[in-house]
């Protein structure tokens, strides 16, 4: 199935021993999760054989070939459960979505339907399938319990363009978070590797040998026993902000996994992807912002803050 989306490359000496999904993410380029999905679906071969394990090692001189995953047949029952999608921006190449808390981005264990991916499919018009047939348009993700902005790709070319920006850290993502305790530094940087928590498998943790993870923070307002932060992702590890904030003993208010206090009853971390900036495939810089959702605004107000005065609290849409 050789078409403009297919490809093949030889593994260089600098990548000898790498995981296949890691190497493929840089070769395509695409996200690490999308690369793993290509491997699992048999769309990748190494020296003519299709290994189904994303962790399979590659060696210098290996010839790795890949092809796009064809879209799956439409599910006749999908439209009835596809959620409405709130578009902030859309054109023929990409779209920006404002995702509510509680909406899963793509199908996974325990949530096969009713995801953002289903909503995008219902919008029609075609979406990139580089991340897999069940993840139309998906370039990056937010945790189900986190609200805010996501960019999605209509074309494979746009998908590659956006994935490259994720890798070189030029696709900017800023979050607003409400944490326990008072953060003394006005701004700072957390560099701590993240991997699976060896004691609680549903959680991630800062662990030796984990993947590089970097978060920058800036204090927006110090409240009674809490701090409102602007958070910037320089890498995109699973639960990264939640793990890093728990690591410095300033967990997000309401986080059911990482907040040890009684406010876990809120059911979700007080975290919102509020600002997003990127370069469009045609070269235009684009920037977007999303207002704080009502539950986060109320949580801030209850602690003496004034969320309406914060940057990013204006109506959703393009900015800058």
The DSSP result for 5-25, as a single string, is T-EEEEPPGGGTT-BHHHHHH
Say which DSSP state 55 is in: T
Domain boundaries, the chain: 78-168, 172-318
Please, which residues have CB within 8 angstroms of residue 314's CB and are 6 or more apart in sequence?
289, 291
The domain made up of 172-318 has a fold known as Pseudouridine synthase (3.30.2350)
Can you give the pLDDT at residue 263? 65
Please, which residues have CB within 8 angstroms of residue 24's CB and are 6 or more apart in sequence?
30, 35, 38, 39, 44, 64, 66
User: Is 175:272 a contact under the CB 8 Å cutoff?
Assistant: yes
What CA–CA distance (Å, rounded) separates 96 from 287?
10
Can you give the pLDDT at residue 80? 45
pLDDT in tens, 119-149: 998 888 889 988 888 889 999 989 888 999 9
CB-neighbour burial class of residue 11 (10 A; exposed 0-12, middle 13-18, buried 19+)? buried
Angle subtended at Cα 110 by Cα 108 and Cα 111, rounded to the nearest 5 degrees? 60
Can you give the pLDDT at residue 74? 39
Low-confidence ranges of the chain (pLDDT < 70): 1-5, 30-33, 68-82, 109-112, 262-266, 306-320
What is the set of active-site residues?
143
Report the CATH number of the 78-168 domain. Answer: 3.30.2350.10
The answer to whether 78-168 and 172-318 have equal CATH topology is yes
User: Is 263:284 a contact under the CB 8 Å cutoff?
Assistant: no
Can you give the pLDDT at residue 68? 65
Can you give the pLDDT at residue 77? 45
């Amino acid at each position: 199935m050789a078409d403009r989306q297919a490809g093949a490359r030889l593994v260089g000496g600098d990548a000898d021993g790498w995981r296949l999904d890691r190497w493929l993410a840089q070769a395509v380029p695409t996200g690490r999760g999308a690369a793993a999905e290509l491997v699992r679906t048999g769309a990748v071969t190494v020296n003519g054989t299709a290994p189904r394990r994303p962790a399979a090692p590659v060696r210098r001189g290996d010839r790795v070939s890949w092809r796009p995953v064809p879209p799956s047949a439409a599910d006749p029952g999908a439209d009835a459960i596809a959620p409405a999608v709130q578009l902030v921006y859309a054109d023929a190449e990409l779209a920006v979505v404002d995702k509510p808390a509680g909406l899963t981005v793509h199908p996974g264990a325990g949530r096969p339907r009713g995801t953002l991916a289903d909503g995008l499919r219902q919008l029609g018009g075609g979406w990139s399938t580089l991340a897999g047939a069940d993840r139309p348009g998906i370039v990056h993700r937010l945790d189900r319990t986190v609200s805010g902005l996501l960019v999605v790709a209509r074309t494979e070319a746009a998908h590659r363009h956006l994935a490259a920006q994720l890798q070189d850290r030029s696709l900017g993502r800023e979050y607003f978070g409400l944490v326990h305790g008072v953060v003394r530094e006005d701004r700072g940087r957390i560099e701590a590797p993240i991997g699976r928590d060896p004691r609680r498998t549903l959680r991630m943790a800062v662990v030796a040998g984990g993947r590089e993870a970097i978060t920058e923070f800036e204090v927006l307002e110090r409240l009674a026993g809490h701090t409102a932060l602007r958070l910037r992702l320089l890498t995109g590890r699973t639960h990264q902000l939640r793990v890093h904030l728990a690591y410095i003993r300033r967990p997000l208010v309401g986080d059911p996994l990482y907040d040890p206090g009684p406010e876990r009853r809120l059911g979700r971390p007080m975290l919102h992807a509020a600002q997003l900036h990127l370069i469009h495939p045609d070269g235009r810089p684009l920037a977007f912002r999303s207002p704080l959702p009502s539950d986060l605004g109320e949580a801030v107000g209850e602690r003496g803050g004034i969320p309406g005065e914060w940057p990013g609290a204006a109506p959703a849409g393009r900015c800058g």
